[in-house]
Every structure is written in structure tokens, then in C-alpha cells.
Amino acid sequence: MAPRTPVPAAKRPLLSKAFVDEHKRERCAVALAEVVHDVGPHRLTTNLIAKRAKIARATFYDLFDGREAAADWACEFAVRKLLEPVRGAIEENDSTVEQLEGAVRAFVETAMAEPELTELCLIHSSAFFPRRVWRYDQALVEALAPVVDKLHPRSAGPTSFGELWAYGVLSVVARRVGAGRSDSLSSVGRELTEIALAPLRPRSS
């Protein structure tokens, strides 16, 4: 019996350059957040980012125009990492209370899983862009505040209860993450949810 001719293994499809570059940018974003956590935003250099991301300097400059462009992309990436689970929790739940509970839980769980990116977004981003009017945390406030405002009448002033509450949530999370206490965010999330729901609870006589 004649030996079988081996069938050549299927060639692995080549990934597009755009896909590969996006993956490298994400690696750089994570590396940048880690370096900023270690040395602070003002001591960040392209060399430190490239070294932590394990890429060549030439590759870094293929991806970004410089340190500020890399920081901008990393901050936007950090916002997306925090924001997508929050939006997902809101979309997946029907009742407003469940949306609130799910959104806060998703936010704090992501912050616990990604403390350096959370720190970059909520604490250090303003150091890179002090003159920028739009803040990276605004997207999170705009996602969280409407859920609380559906539970409470809007205040007479220009700022709603939901907006004040949302900024409070970000402040508490930022302080815990900045102090290296991200492991305590689970209990904090429950407390922050209860603050928003407390006015709805029936008062004991």
C-alpha cells in the first residue's frame, strides 16, 4: 500500500496590521498606567513605556506621536475599560434599581481588576492635560447619573442629585485605588448604592 501523502497544515490566517497595532497600543496603555503608578505622571518617559510594554522605541513612535499622544490614548482606553461594563449592566437590567445596583457593581469590580488603569483615568489624567475642559471621568458620570435621577426628582439647581452622587462615587473609588485599597471596593460599592437608594426606603415610625 502506497504511503499517504501528508496533507499540509492549514496556514494560519495573517492578522491585519490594524489589529496588531491596536493590540500593541493596548499593551502600551497598560504599561503606561503601570509606570505612572510606580513613578508618577511627571516622570513618565517614552523609554519607560516602551521598556514596560516590551517594544522597541521605533515601534512606539510608529504607534504614537509621543508621550502626550500615548497618555491621551491610554486615558481613553482606561475610560472604555471602566465604562463598557457599566453600560452593559444598565442595558441588561429592566428595573431602575437593578440598573443602579448592576452599574455600581460592574464599576467597582472593574476598578478592582484594573487598579492602575482606574488610577490613571480618575487621578492622573488631569496631570497630563490640565487645561482640558472635558475630563475623562465625565463619561462615567454621564453614564451613572441618569440612573439615579430616574429614582429621584431633579433638584431645583443646575446640578442633579444623580450627578452629585456620581462624582461622589468616582471620588471615593479614586481615593481607595490611590491608597492601594482597591480590595475594599466591593463593600464600598454596596454602601454607595445604599446612599442612592436610602431616600426610597420607607421610614420607620
- In this structure, what CATH number is given to the domain that contains residue 35? 1.10.357.10
- Structurally, the chain folds into a number of domains equal to 1
Q: Which residue has the higher pLDDT, 77 or 158?
A: 77
Query: Among 38, 124, 111, which residue's Cα sits nearest to residue 74?
Result: 124
Task: Please tell me the distance from the alpha carbon of residue 29 to that of residue 120, in angstroms, as a whole number.
Answer: 10
Q: Which residue has the higher pLDDT, 103 or 198?
A: 103
2 occurs within a structural domain: no
- Mean pLDDT over 58-84 rounds to 95
4 occurs within a structural domain: no
180 occurs within a structural domain: yes
